[in-house]
Amino acid sequence: MSEAIFRLRNLRKEYQRRLVLDISYLEIYRGEILVVVGPNGSGKSTLLRLLNFLEPATSGEIEFMGHSIPPGAPVGLHLRRQVTMVFQQPALLNRSVLANVSYGRKVRGMPAQNGAMTRLLERLGLASLAGSHAPNLSGGERQRVALARALAFQPAVLLLDEPTANLDPYNVSLIEGLIRDLNREQGTTMVLVTHNVFQARRLGHRVAFLLNGQVVEIAPAEQFFTAPQDARTRAFLNGELVW
């Protein structure tokens, strides 16, 4: 688990001249689950958007699968299609659940494989909703559809932005199990943003703490929670951080 799939160097992102992300160096290993924690507005979702090549960085470099991508440079479609994200606020198409889930395959020209899609929906507890109109779904159902549509084309890297925020306890453990299985069986690299430190501990191989756009601490999960090095990490974990 030491080969890096992503390398970020001096990566900075500004919005209206306000520095939101400032990462001097970060490696993401192939096949790991990296959990990112941090307070609201610390830049977690921004980091995921940059990793998904959805926005250009202001400066710095992203190296992905051996290809170096300077800010603003076009990213080859083949590379971009290796990465996908489950968004904090999923926006679904005004169509059936099945049509939503098949979208990523359709744009890639992959065969529809309705059987496999149905099995995927079954694993997410959505089988009975396959034909339902997506706008009618509940918040938790939408979130699971958003996960299903990302898994449908078997991406190499899965970016998860609080994927269990709207789920009931049963579905949280269902999704956590799925994430773990997927990582183990298919070697999918995952970057998971969560506000749930217990979830971070359950799922993460490594945990990074993001504060004001900077990686304050990054360590193997066990060490991160039992022996955090930085005082700010300790304060954050104890719910005492004032920033």
Partner 1 sequence: MRRRRFLFAGDSAAGQPAQEEAAIDTLLQGLRQAVHLILSLDPEVLEIAGLSLRVSGTALAISVLLGVPLGAALGLRRFTGWSFLRLMLYTGMGLPPVVVGLFVYILLSRNGPLGALNAALIPRLFTPAAMITAQTLIIFPIVTGFTMAALLGVDPLLRQQLLSLGATPWQATLTLLVEARAGIAAAVAAGLGRALAEVGAVMMVGGNIAGETRVLTTAIVLETSKGNFDVAIALGLILLAMALVINFVILQLEERFFRPL
Q: Which of residues 78-97 bind partner 1 (CB under 8 A)?
A: 80-81, 83-85, 87, 89-91, 93-94
Smallest Cα–Cα separation from 79: which of 50, 56, 110, 52? Answer: 52
Q: Which residues contact residue 38 at a Cβ distance below 8 angstroms, ignoring those fewer than 6 apart?
A: 44, 209, 210, 211, 236
From residue 38 to residue 57, the character string flagging contacts with partner 1 as x (rule: CB under 8 A) and all else as - is -----------x--x-x---
d(CA 148, CA 239): 33
**If binding is defined by CB under 8 A, does position 13 make contact with partner 1?**
no
Q: Which residues contact residue 13 at a Cβ distance below 8 angstroms, ignoring those fewer than 6 apart?
A: 19, 20, 21, 22, 43, 46, 50, 55, 57, 58, 213
Query: 88 or 214: whose CB is closer to ligand ATP?
Result: 88
What's the token pair of residue 236? 């954050």
Q: Of 25-33, 105-113, 116-124, 224-232, which segment contacts partner 1 by CB under 8 A?
A: 105-113
Among partner 1, ligand ATP, Mg ion, none, the one that 103 touches (CB under a kind-dependent 5 to 8 A) is: partner 1
φ, ψ of residue 158 to 5 degrees: the values are -115, 120
**If binding is defined by CB under 5 A, does position 42 make contact with Mg ion?**
no
Find where tokens 């149905």 sit: 118
- In the list 38, 43, 60, 104, the residue contacting partner 1 (rule: CB under 8 A) is 104
Among ligand ATP, Mg ion, partner 1, none, the one that 91 touches (CB under a kind-dependent 5 to 8 A) is: partner 1
Contact residues for Mg ion (CB under 5 A)?
A: 45, 88
